[in-house]
Chain A
Amino acid sequence: MKNKRSLFAVPYIVWMAFLVVIPIIIMVVYAFTTGATDGSLGAFTLDNFTSMGSYTVVFTRSFKLALIATAVCLLIGYPISYMIAKEGPRFQRVAMVLIMLPMWINFLLRTYSWMSILENNGLLNQIFRSIGLIDLYNSIAIHFAADPSAYQPITYFQMMGTSGAVVLGMVYNYLPFMILPIYSVIVKLDHSLVEAAHDLGANNLCVFRKVIFPLSLPGVLSGITMVFVPSVSTFAISRLLGGGNQMLLGDLIELQFTGGAYNPHLGAAIAMVMMVIVVVCMWVMNHFGEGEEQAVML
Chain B
Amino acid sequence: MMKRRHAASNRFFMALVFLFLYAPIFLLIVFSFNAGESSVVWKGFSLKWYGELFRDRLIMQSVYTTLLVSLLATIISTIAGTFASIGFYSMRRRVREPLMTINSIPMMNADIVTGVSLCLFFVAFFNLWGDFAGWINSIQGLITLPTRLNLGFGTLLLAHISFNIPYVILSVGPKLRQMDRNLVDAAQDLGCTWMQAFWKVILPEIKPGIVSGALIAFTMSVDDFVISYFTAGSATSTLAMQIYSMTKKRISPKINAISTLLFITVLVLLVIVNIRESHQERAALTRQTGKK
A122 within 8 A of B: yes
The answer to whether residues A236 and B244 also contact, given A16-B103, A105-B263 and a CB cut-off of 8 A, is yes
Of all chain A residues, which has the CB nearest B29? A113
Q: Is the CB of A116 within 8 A of B83?
A: no
- Other-chain contact of B14, A95, A107, A126, A267 (Cβ < 8 Å): A95
Residues of A within 8 A of B45 (CB): none
Please report whether the interface of chain B is mostly helix, strand, loop or mixed according to DSSP: helix
The answer to whether residues A236 and B121 also contact, given A10-B87, A121-B40, A274-B112 and a CB cut-off of 8 A, is no
Of all chain A residues, which has the CB nearest B18? A98
- Other-chain contact of A109, B117, B162, B230, B258 (Cβ < 8 Å): B258
Q: Is the CB of A230 within 8 A of B25?
A: no
Of all chain A residues, which has the CB nearest B252? A112
**Could you tell me which residues of chain A, from 74 to 95, have a CB within 8 Å of some CB in chain B?**
76, 79-80, 83-84, 86, 95
Q: Is the CB of B120 within 8 A of A15?
A: no
Q: Is the CB of A116 within 8 A of B120?
A: no
Distance in angstroms between the alpha carbons of A230 and B102 in the assembled complex = 20
Q: Is the CB of B105 within 8 A of A20?
A: yes
**Could you tell me which residues of chain A, from 228 to 280, have a CB within 8 Å of some CB in chain B?**
229-230, 232-233, 235-236, 239-240, 250, 253-254, 257, 264, 267-268, 271, 274-275, 278-279
Residues of A within 8 A of B149 (CB): none
Residues of A within 8 A of B226 (CB): 235-236
Residues of B within 8 A of A275 (CB): 109-110, 113
Residues of B within 8 A of A26 (CB): 117, 120-121, 124
The answer to whether residues A8 and B259 also contact, given A104-B270, A113-B28, A264-B120 and a CB cut-off of 8 A, is no
Residues of A within 8 A of B121 (CB): 19, 22-23, 26
A59 within 8 A of B: no
Residues of B within 8 A of A133 (CB): none
Of all chain A residues, which has the CB nearest B169? A12
Q: Is the CB of B225 within 8 A of A106?
A: yes
B204 within 8 A of A: no
Of all chain B residues, which has the CB nearest A232? B110
A182 within 8 A of B: no
Residues of B within 8 A of A253 (CB): 112, 116
Q: What band does the interface of chain B fall in when counting residues whose beta carbon is under 8 Å from A?
A: 35 or more
B267 to chain A, nearest CB (A): 7
Q: Is the CB of B88 within 8 A of A102?
A: no
Of all chain A residues, which has the CB nearest B126? A39
Residues of B within 8 A of A12 (CB): 80-81, 83-84, 87, 165
Distance in angstroms between the alpha carbons of A39 and B124 in the assembled complex = 9
Distance in angstroms between the alpha carbons of A194 and B259 in the assembled complex = 44
- Other-chain contact of B110, A19, A102, A229 (Cβ < 8 Å): A229
User: Residue among A22, A26, A98 with the most chain B CB within 10 A?
Assistant: A26
Of all chain A residues, which has the CB nearest B110? A233
A148 within 8 A of B: no
Q: Could you tell me how many residues of chain A have their Cβ less than 8 Å away from some Cβ of chain B?
A: 80
Q: Is the CB of A109 within 8 A of B223?
A: no
B266 within 8 A of A: yes
Distance in angstroms between the alpha carbons of A282 and B108 in the assembled complex = 8
Residues of A within 8 A of B223 (CB): 104, 106-107
A114 within 8 A of B: yes
The answer to whether residues A116 and B110 also contact, given A2-B90, A101-B267 and a CB cut-off of 8 A, is no
Distance in angstroms between the alpha carbons of A61 and B83 in the assembled complex = 44
The answer to whether residues A80 and B14 also contact, given A9-B87, A15-B162, A102-B25 and a CB cut-off of 8 A, is yes
**Could you tell me which residues of chain A, from 108 to 167, have a CB within 8 Å of some CB in chain B?**
108-117, 119, 121-123, 126
Q: A26-B124, A106-B225 are in contact. List 13 more A-B contacts (CB 8 A).
A: A1-B188, A5-B90, A8-B84, A9-B86, A22-B121, A23-B120, A23-B121, A76-B17, A83-B13, A86-B10, A104-B270, A112-B247, A119-B251
A-B contact pairs, 12 of them (CB 8 A): A4-B194, A5-B86, A26-B120, A30-B120, A102-B21, A106-B243, A110-B25, A112-B28, A117-B24, A230-B110, A257-B119, A278-B109
Which of B's residues lie within 8 Å of A, judged by CB? 10, 13-14, 17-18, 20-22, 24-25, 27-28, 31, 39-40, 80-81, 83-88, 90-91, 99, 102-103, 105-106, 108-113, 116-121, 123-124, 127, 158-159, 162, 165, 188, 194, 219, 223, 225-226, 229-230, 239-240, 243-244, 247-248, 251, 255, 258-259, 262-263, 266-267, 270, 274
The 10 A-B residue pairs with the shortest CB-CB distance in the complex, in nearest-first order: A9-B87, A8-B87, A12-B84, A233-B110, A116-B39, A23-B121, A113-B24, A23-B117, A5-B90, A19-B162
